[in-house]
């Protein structure tokens, strides 16, 4: 049993083509039928008008009662050879002057006769009447006559039997109906053939897609071989393949890096445990081994916590709390937190400008802390880390620059990837973390509707973050929450050997 799938594009096109063709054929058939019927009506009207003029001419030549009595014979002669015509002539007093033997219609139509419609053709009002199984064209008109006794007006009814026309129109109607049905079926079949041929490129396109697997994501669809309607689809599909290929590549690298990062602390834990158990040791030795184990476990816990944070962000579960945040105060608090470290490396920390944004204070502080930690780690001793805050229209920008070694251009687009190393051969120490800081920073910035970019050159590396600016009321509230009597916002905050520490800074949690 054949099952038709209405979702089939070929079937839909076939039905649409067949329905459209049927409608067109029906309209053409109706137009032809009505035109032919109108033509016959016009021809009948011409013949009736000719007989009407003949009747009026005969009556107009009557001058006496003798002529009037001889009218019937003249009318008989005039109707010879016109078997389809019938005439009835009635005097003003209702007396029938002349009635053809074939006149079966009374004027008005007798019981059983029904007028289908009345048309005005060639100046005549013609009724189409069905009576006793026959069809007639009937027209009624006055016939004036002038005799010696005075003028009078006769009433004439002229009927034409049009059974032959009706039979012909019935044959035309049947033939047209059969032609429309046959034409619709032929159009549907041809539509199916045309649809099959028309979507052949789509089937080839589908076959090309079916051959693409996870191991062949580098395959691309040749758009130049496709019809113009499919070129945008092919280009979009190729772009999707490029994104998938890039995502799969990053996923493989991420899986490899994650396995490597987890293997290092686990290997250290196993080694320490095996060494501790290799021979009896003192309580202090076991205590030292447990301390090392705790450090590696803390590193694993931080890594797992960071991965869970990024997983929540990937699934849209990272919804920051909105509150006014003064970026100058947050940077000042972070400078205080890193004060001891920058003193040991003789690094100067400088911040200029101010700006208020809306967001989650803890998350924003974590993002800025990751940037500062990265800058301090790569800044050479005796250099300066500068943070410039400013507002541009509806955005607040924060640019942090360190004078470290420049980063090659090919590495810049991937600095925010998870576990990405500029130098893959270098092992990461426990103090450096798991390499997720910049990835987390980008995620936090994106969750706040901002963007982050990096540029590097001989003068150093510069990270620039842009956040949507806070509303005017929230901006004022943020400044009031972080303002101190002795603070002068226009002046730069300095920390490190070259500057004094801001005593009112917020402590980093």
DSSP sequence for 15-75: HHHHHHHHHHHHHHHHHHHHHHHHHHHHHHHHHHHHHHHHHHHHHHT--SHHHHHTHHHHH
Query: Are both 414 and 330 inside the same structural domain?
Result: yes
C-alpha 266, offset from chain centre: 50
Same domain, 158 and 276: no
Q: Are 157 and 107 in contact (CB under 8 A)?
A: yes
Can you give the CATH number for the domain in which 426 is found? 3.30.565.10
| Residue 102: predicted pLDDT | 57
Mean pLDDT in order along the chain per 10 residues (509 residues): 63 82 88 88 86 83 72 76 80 80 49 60 81 82 76 84 85 89 87 80 79 78 77 85 81 72 78 84 86 83 78 69 89 86 87 90 90 89 91 90 87 81 54 70 89 90 92 60 44 45 31
User: Do the beta carbons of residue 333 and residue 508 sit within 8 Å?
Assistant: yes
CATH value at residue 278? 1.10.287
pTM across the whole model = 0.50
Residues 419 and 478 in one domain: yes
Instruction: Please report the pLDDT score of residue 498 as a whole number.
Output: 37
Q: Are residues 358 and 472 both part of a single domain?
A: yes
Same domain, 168 and 262: no
Same domain, 342 and 482: yes
Does residue 310 sit in the same domain as residue 342? no
In terms of residue numbers, what domain contains 270? Answer: 252-314
Determine, yes or no, domain membership for 393: yes
d(CA 260, CA 198): 53
Give the Cα separation of 450 and 445 in Å (integer). 5
Provide the pLDDT for residue 120: 83
C-alpha–C-alpha distance, residues 221 and 230, integer Å: 11
Residue 105 tokens read as 């219609």
**Considering its fold, how many domains does the chain have in total?**
3
Do 22 and 85 have their domain in common? Answer: yes
Residue position matching structure tokens 């100058």? 328
Residue that terminates a domain, selected from 151, 169, 185:
185
Q: Are residues 87 and 152 in the same domain?
A: yes
Domain identity same for 289 and 382 = no
State how far the Cα of 369 lies from the Cα of 150, in Å rounded to an integer: 126
Counting Cα atoms < 13 Å in the Cβ hemisphere of 407 gives 21
pLDDT at 1: 45
Out of 161, 185, 209, a domain closes at 185
If asked whether residues 19 and 155 sit together in one domain, one would say yes
Q: For residues 439 and 414, state if they share a domain.
A: yes
Task: Please state the φ and ψ torsions of residue 398, each to the nearest 5 degrees.
Answer: -135, 120
The bridge status of strand 384-392 relative to strand 348-352 is parallel
């Amino acid at each position: 049993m054949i099952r038709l799938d209405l979702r089939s594009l070929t079937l839909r096109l076939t039905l649409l083509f067949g329905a459209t063709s049927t409608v067109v054929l029906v309209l053409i058939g109706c137009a032809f039928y009505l035109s032919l019927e109108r033509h016959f009506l016009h021809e009948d009207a011409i013949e009736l008008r000719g007989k009407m003029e003949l009747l009026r001419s005969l009556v107009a030549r009557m001058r006496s009662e003798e002529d009037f009595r001889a009218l019937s014979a003249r009318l008989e002669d005039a109707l010879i050879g016109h078997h389809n015509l019938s005439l009835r002539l009635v005097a003003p007093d209702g007396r029938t002057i002349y009635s053809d033997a074939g006149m079966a219609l009374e004027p008005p139509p007798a019981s059983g006769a029904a007028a289908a419609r009345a048309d005005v053709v060639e100046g005549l009002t013609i009724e189409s009447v069905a009576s006793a199984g026959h069809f007639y064209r009937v027209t009624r008109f006055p016939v004036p006559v002038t005799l010696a006794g005075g003028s009078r007006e006769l009433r004439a009814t002229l009927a034409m039997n049009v059974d032959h026309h009706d039979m012909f129109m019935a044959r035309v109607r049947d033939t047209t109906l059969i032609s429309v049905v046959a034409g619709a079926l032929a159009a549907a079949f041809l539509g199916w053939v045309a649809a099959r041929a028309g979507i052949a490129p789509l089937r080839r396109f589908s076959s090309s897609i079916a051959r693409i697997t996870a191991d062949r994501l580098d395959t691309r669809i040749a758009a130049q071989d496709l019809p113009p309607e499919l070129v945008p689809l092919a280009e979009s599909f190729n772009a999707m393949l490029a994104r998938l290929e890039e995502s799969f590549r990053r996923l493989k690298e991420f899986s490899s890096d994650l396995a490597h990062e987890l293997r290092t602390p686990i290997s250290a834990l196993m080694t320490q445990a095996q060494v501790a158990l290799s021979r009896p040791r003192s309580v202090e030795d076991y205590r030292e081994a447990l301390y090392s184990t705790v450090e590696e476990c803390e590193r694993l816990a931080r890594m797992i916590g960071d991965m869970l944070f990024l997983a929540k962000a990937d699934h849209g579960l990272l919804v920051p709390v909105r509150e006014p945040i003064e970026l100058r105060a947050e940077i000042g608090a972070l400078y205080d937190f890193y004060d001891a470290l920058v003193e040991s490396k003789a690094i100067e920390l400088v911040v200029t400008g101010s700006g208020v944004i809306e967001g989650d204070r803890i998350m924003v502080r974590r993002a800025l802390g990751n940037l500062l930690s990265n800058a301090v780690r790569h800044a050479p001793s005796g250099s300066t880390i500068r943070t410039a805050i400013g507002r541009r229209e509806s955005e607040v920008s924060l640019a942090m620059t360190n004078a470290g070694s420049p980063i090659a251009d090919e590495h810049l687009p991937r600095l925010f990837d998870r576990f990405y190393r500029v130098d893959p051969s270098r092992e990461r120490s426990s103090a450096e973390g798991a390499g997720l800081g910049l990835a987390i920073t980008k995620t936090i910035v994106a969750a706040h509707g901002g963007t982050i970019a990096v540029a590097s050159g001989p003068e150093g590396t510069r990270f620039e973050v842009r956040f949507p600016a806070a509303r005017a009321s929230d901006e004022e509230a943020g400044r009031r929450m972080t303002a101190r009597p002795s603070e002068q916002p226009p002046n730069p905050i300095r920390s490190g050997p070259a500057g004094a520490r801001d005593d009112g800074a917020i402590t980093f949690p």
